[in-house]
Amino acid sequence: MKTSTLFAVCGIVCGLTAVSLGFAGKPWQAGLFGLAAGVWNIATLIMERRGGDDD
């Protein structure tokens, strides 16, 4: 599995966790997971732009 694919999966998982925590009424935990999702997505974009084969 490529590293960028793994980063994208982590970003999606963090985003879904943030949404579920938000609906559960835990705003600061949701904010932290939302921030983590953003960081994973930025890392994914950087990995894709590098163009390296990261197997």
Each domain of the chain, given as residue ranges in start order, spans 3-50
Share of the chain above pLDDT 70, in %: 91
For the stretch 30-55, pLDDT in tens is 999 999 999 988 988 888 787 755 55
Nearest-5° Cα angle at 16, 10 to 18: 100
Q: How many CB atoms lie within 10 A of CB 18?
A: 21
**Overall size of the chain counted in residues:** 55
Helix axes 3-23, 27-50, angle to 10 degrees: 160
Q: Are 30 and 22 contacting, i.e. CB atoms less than 8 angstroms apart? A: yes
Q: What is the mean pLDDT of the chain?
A: 86
pTM exceeds cut of 0.85: no
